[in-house]
Chains A and B, each alone.
Chain A
């Protein structure tokens, strides 16, 4: 038995409404007390001036294993995660092979356990081979550990297939996560369609590509009484539609990625390939709408869409560069701007990357409840550091924040009571 005391920190545990200066006590792998506790600590972490919260959850990550390990693998992704304070993440099924049968899901979970730094929960594919035609064995995938279903990277394009996917998943209570993109409208596009794409002379992806798909899906969700989650929402009208669907009582939820509430399409000027992702960075009006959605609760989750790519996939000019940016290591400091700008309380921001996604996906993590697994993130919300792409722990160096100063830094990450990350050092 080993007793760990994290003392003098400001504990924020939104699931339990805790927001106070106190000590956190961990015995072996579990939280045993917040506040006073009998016994002498074997190990102490001084968290004075810091915030102590549940380990973060990133419900939208591409780990690239199996199949594209030169871009990222479960180990490198786990190391990047804990560097960013993330102790649980959900990995999307667009691997090779895809996560469309139970064996792959089990293999990923097993590999993540071997690495032992971060929980990895697979998202199962909705359709076999992500082809958008036949449904996967969702029950079997769920038994293997999949926590939701998506064809992310691709939309579930055909309305008929989407209807059946929603109805079938609703039968068993599963959630469908949609990459909302009408490809007929966005094909050959590489950035948001508008003034920037016009000036650069590149094919744009109109915002209606996202909006028409969300509109269609909400109608199908209403009929199926299904659980529908919009991945990486980026458009003003998309946020409005989710808001009204919620008001109507539909089981519609959504997430926003830090780049969509921190950056706009202006970032692409100069043909910046590290500002290319799908959905693309959009206008200031869209960015502000996403922020408003976060503020009023329309958007309950912050998730990164961490999409590591090899340099070769990006080093070929804007039009043919791969879509996606890395995000695990910058999620917290970028999101802290929402607190600094008065959009969210610290507790509400933390909720969007802890208990909210945990509740949506039934993970059981994301809290510091007594008896819970001691996944903990300790951060200094005032510490500053500068993003250096070469210093990123992820194999992917594709970040739009290279050279930018961040405020807010993770100092410790604990996984099941073990300090796995401490002031820049990973303890394997």
Chain B
């Protein structure tokens, strides 16, 4: 595999690189299940988690990934003030880089934050933990590892992704990965939650959730920010949203018995997903959380030139 300096998004990865990271993540699953959850891979390496947006699971996932590989991990939650976000972003980035970390993991509400900071930070690998509505590559690698456990390969499968596609970095990264790995994507949303020209990703677009379900191998429910629904006139009410685009057990039957349910979390029960589905055997939502740690271990290892980060 060709080594890489940063992980900005799925857009920059080849199929081989994606598969390499997923397989490497696979090999790390065991460490997380052992009584003694520690490997020496990243001993002496420093990882900084720089989170400008609230996040519990992604930040914890990166933190555990680093610590279980013996890296020194620091967490920073920086708040973004509307007026000075640009300046503080660059200054914060440069300040942290001056402390010579190996990796800075960044989450920010502005798309392109990693690309922007990378221009000014030398000798530091940057990992995108979610930038605005742009990309969320480690979530997609996590999903692919989850699906690998269930299916072996996603090739030829159909994943139906539902919800606020317009503001979803998860949807965009999946649409990019689908093209590279050969799986199909159906996007389901009202027009108010679809970005312009979404079909140019090569996906199928559905407005009717029930029409999209038959033939789906997995249903991927996106978290809906309820205030975004009503304040931005995207939908009149949560009630009507749940009725049209919420997933419940009855609706899911149309997809058949084999269909998996995924969600990047955190869930809004009763909004995009009903409890009867969230807690069912079809739900792989907690597997996603578990494999997320393994995949992030793989990403950190690859970027630090540890386990197989060079040509192979």
Q: Hey, which bits of chain A sit against chain B, CB under 8 A?
A: 193-195, 197-202, 204, 206, 270-271, 312, 315-321
- B86, B115, B195, B200: the one within 8 Å of A270 (CB): B115
B89: interface (CB < 8 Å): yes
A316, closest chain B residue (CB)? B86
CB distance from A200 to the nearest CB of B (A): 6
B112 with A271: CB separation less than 8 A: yes
Which 7 pairs between the two chains have the least Cβ-Cβ distance? A316-B86, A201-B134, A201-B133, A271-B112, A198-B195, A201-B111, A195-B197
30 sampled A-B residue pairs with Cβ under 8 A = A194-B197, A195-B197, A198-B172, A198-B197, A199-B11, A200-B112, A200-B134, A201-B131, A201-B133, A201-B134, A201-B172, A202-B111, A202-B134, A204-B195, A206-B196, A270-B115, A271-B112, A271-B116, A312-B86, A312-B87, A315-B86, A316-B85, A316-B86, A316-B90, A317-B86, A317-B112, A317-B116, A319-B112, A319-B132, A320-B86
Write the B120-149 contact mask toward A (1 if CB under 8 angstroms, else 0): 000000000001111100000000000000
B112 / chain A contacts, CB cutoff of 8 Å: 200, 202, 271, 317-319
CB distance from A63 to the nearest CB of B (A): 24
Q: Compute how far the CA of A204 lies from the CA of B198 in the bound complex, rounded to whole angstroms.
A: 13
A202 / chain B contacts, CB cutoff of 8 Å: 111-112, 132-134
B131 / chain A contacts, CB cutoff of 8 Å: 201
B229 / chain A contacts, CB cutoff of 8 Å: none
Write the B188-199 contact mask toward A (1 if CB under 8 angstroms, else 0): 000000011110
- A201, A206, A315: the one within 8 Å of B169 (CB): A201
- A198, A204, A206, A317: the one within 8 Å of B110 (CB): A317
B196 with A317: CB separation less than 8 A: no
- B11, B87, B90, B196: the one within 8 Å of A198 (CB): B196
CB distance from B252 to the nearest CB of A (A): 29
CB distance from B249 to the nearest CB of A (A): 33
Q: Compute how far the CA of A202 lies from the CA of B195 in the bound complex, rounded to whole angstroms.
A: 10
B135 / chain A contacts, CB cutoff of 8 Å: 201
CB distance from A176 to the nearest CB of B (A): 31
Given contact pairs A271-B116, A316-B90, A200 touches B196 in the complex (Cβ within 8 A)? no
A198 with B198: CB separation less than 8 A: yes
A199 / chain B contacts, CB cutoff of 8 Å: 11, 172
B198 / chain A contacts, CB cutoff of 8 Å: 198
Q: Compute how far the CA of A193 lies from the CA of B198 in the bound complex, rounded to whole angstroms.
A: 12
B113: interface (CB < 8 Å): yes
CB distance from A47 to the nearest CB of B (A): 44
Beyond known contacts A198-B200, A201-B169, A202-B132: 15 more, CB 8 A cutoff: A194-B196, A197-B195, A198-B172, A198-B198, A200-B111, A200-B112, A201-B132, A202-B111, A270-B115, A271-B112, A271-B115, A316-B89, A317-B86, A319-B110, A319-B111
Q: Hey, which bits of chain B sit against chain A, CB under 8 A?
A: 11, 85-87, 89-90, 110-113, 115-116, 131-135, 169, 172, 195-198, 200
CB distance from A112 to the nearest CB of B (A): 33
The secondary-structure label for the interface of chain B is helix
B116 / chain A contacts, CB cutoff of 8 Å: 271, 316-318
B116, closest chain A residue (CB)? A317
B196 with A195: CB separation less than 8 A: yes
CB distance from B53 to the nearest CB of A (A): 14
B87 with A316: CB separation less than 8 A: yes
A315 / chain B contacts, CB cutoff of 8 Å: 86, 90
A270 / chain B contacts, CB cutoff of 8 Å: 115
B200 with A318: CB separation less than 8 A: no
B111, closest chain A residue (CB)? A201
B11 / chain A contacts, CB cutoff of 8 Å: 199
A317 / chain B contacts, CB cutoff of 8 Å: 86, 89, 110, 112-113, 116
B85 / chain A contacts, CB cutoff of 8 Å: 316, 320
A312 / chain B contacts, CB cutoff of 8 Å: 86-87
B89 with A271: CB separation less than 8 A: no
Q: Compute how far the CA of A198 lies from the CA of B198 in the bound complex, rounded to whole angstroms.
A: 7
A268, closest chain B residue (CB)? B112
Q: Compute how far the CA of A316 lies from the CA of B81 in the bound complex, rounded to whole angstroms.
A: 13
A197 / chain B contacts, CB cutoff of 8 Å: 195-196
Given contact pairs A201-B135, A316-B89, A320-B85, A193 touches B113 in the complex (Cβ within 8 A)? no
B136, closest chain A residue (CB)? A201
Q: Compute how far the CA of A320 lies from the CA of B83 in the bound complex, rounded to whole angstroms.
A: 9
CB distance from B75 to the nearest CB of A (A): 22
Among B87, B133, B195, B198, max chain A CB count under 10 A is at B195
B133 / chain A contacts, CB cutoff of 8 Å: 201-202
A314, closest chain B residue (CB)? B86
A198 / chain B contacts, CB cutoff of 8 Å: 172, 195-198, 200
B172, closest chain A residue (CB)? A201
Among B87, B90, B110, B172, max chain A CB count under 10 A is at B110
CB distance from B216 to the nearest CB of A (A): 23
A206 / chain B contacts, CB cutoff of 8 Å: 196
A273, closest chain B residue (CB)? B116
B90 with A204: CB separation less than 8 A: no
Among A193, A195, A201, A318, max chain B CB count under 10 A is at A201
CB distance from B79 to the nearest CB of A (A): 15
B113, closest chain A residue (CB)? A317
CB distance from B97 to the nearest CB of A (A): 15
A321 / chain B contacts, CB cutoff of 8 Å: 86
CB distance from A376 to the nearest CB of B (A): 42
A204 / chain B contacts, CB cutoff of 8 Å: 195-196
Q: Compute how far the CA of A319 lies from the CA of B131 in the bound complex, rounded to whole angstroms.
A: 11
Q: Compute how far the CA of A206 lies from the CA of B196 in the bound complex, rounded to whole angstroms.
A: 9
Q: Compute how far the CA of A193 lies from the CA of B166 in the bound complex, rounded to whole angstroms.
A: 12
A319 / chain B contacts, CB cutoff of 8 Å: 110-112, 132
Q: Compute how far the CA of A321 lies from the CA of B90 in the bound complex, rounded to whole angstroms.
A: 13
B110 / chain A contacts, CB cutoff of 8 Å: 317-320
B197 / chain A contacts, CB cutoff of 8 Å: 194-195, 198
A320, closest chain B residue (CB)? B86
A201 / chain B contacts, CB cutoff of 8 Å: 111, 131-135, 169, 172
CB distance from A182 to the nearest CB of B (A): 16
